[in-house]
Structure formats: C-alpha cells, structure tokens
Amino acid sequence: MVAALGETTAGPVLPRLLDHMLESEEGRRILKERPRINTSTVDMATLARLPENTFGHAYVTWLDRCGVTPDTREPVHYIDDPELAYVMQRYRECHDFYHALCGLPVSVEYELALKVFEFANLGLPSAALSTAAVVRLNATKRARFLSEYVPWALRCGSASRSMITVYWEERWAQDLRELKEELGIWDPPPPKWRKPLSEAKEATARRVKTELSGQMG
C-alpha cells in the first residue's frame, strides 16, 4: 500500500530527479550501470571487515543494530517508463543508507524524521504524506519530533546534495565523517536506541567470523 502510494504520487517529481542524475557524472554512471541493493549484490561480510570509521562498516552495523535487511524493498509496479521506474527503485533501495548516514533507528519517530529529510531533499510527495503517521506518536515524542527533528530534517535535507545522485556503492570505504561533510549532512538530534551499539558490533564481528570460517572450510 505504501509502496503503491509512493509510485502513484511520484509522477511529476521523477523526471526532475532523473535530470539531477543526468547532470551529475556520478548519477550518469548509476543510470548506465543500474546497480541494485540487496544481499545478493552487496557483500555484507566484506563491508563488516572494513574499518569502523567507513560508510560500509557503518551501514552493515546499522543493519545489525536495527535487525533489518535490504531484501525487503518492493519492486516498482506502477511506473511504465523503465528509466523512471529505475529512479524510483533506486530511491527506495537507498533509503537505509540515509538511516545509516544520519544514525537514525527505524522506529516511527525517526522514520518520520527521515521522510521529512527525503521530502526536503528529493521532493517526493509520498515522503510528505507519510508524516500523517505523526498521530501514532505520544505527546512527548510528537513534541520532540516537531520541535527538534522537523527543523533538522528541513534544513539538512534542503541544504545537502541530492541523495539520488550519490553512487553509494563506490563509497563503502570512504570515511563516514568525510562523506557527510562532502554531502553537506550534519547529525540530527541524538536518537534513543533500543539495542546498544555494542550488541550490533558483536553481530557485525560474527559476520566476519562466519565468512572466514566458510572460506577456511
């Protein structure tokens, strides 16, 4: 339902995002090579072996900390133009990169914050429509979302480089802080995590150990 809403409301915006990609050398490479993001195309164990300060390591640690996988993204169904359909798919599959980059969990208040960021950065109507879910937050969380996260998301999203033009797969080994500075992204207000970072790091270390054991076997 949410995926279908995103596709049916994205029509006027997708050509503009495509233009942004065509204006960027990095974006043109993405359109030419059409990379996909899932556990078949991304070697998570290799990312886990990268230094802790890298984007790739931060991404796989974020996946472990949140208990999610990139394999859950729906394919595009309702956009006929193959190039625009790929732009929509790319947006959808890159969403978790924004989480990892900004250090935000996946609970409702932080998903909403990231949707406001996406709307300010990319202009997709579905991102703005998603904020109707703010009614699901209790009064305390709603007040913090409106007073702290919305201002951050609007300012940061509008000031930073268009996220659709970033070839994230070429940035795995890049220092996370340097990447954020390059893209013009600054940290949001500190979130509250359910799982300690230490547990995520242990899970990431197990990925490496399992991979090494498989290679030795």
Average pLDDT of the chain is 90
Q: Which of 7-16, 42-51, 53-62 is predicted with the least confidence, judged by mean pLDDT?
A: 7-16
Q: How do residues 97-109 score in pLDDT, each as one tens digit?
A: 999 999 999 999 9
Residue pLDDT, tens place only, 142-151? 999 999 999 9
Q: Would the pLDDT of 113 be above 90?
A: yes
Q: Is residue 8 very low, low, confident or very high in pLDDT (cuts 50, 70, 90)?
A: low
Q: What is the DSSP string of the chain?
A: -HHHHHHHH-TTTHHHHHHHHHTSHHHHHHHHH----STTTS-HHHHHTS-TTBHHHHHHHHHHHHT--GGGPPPP-S--SHHHHHHHHHHHHHHHHHHHHHT--SSHHHHHHHHHHHHHHH--HHHHHGGGGGGGS-HHHHHHIIIIIHHHHHHHHHHSPPGGG--GGG-TTSBHHHHHHHHT----SPP--SS-HHHHHHHHHHHHHHHHHHHH-
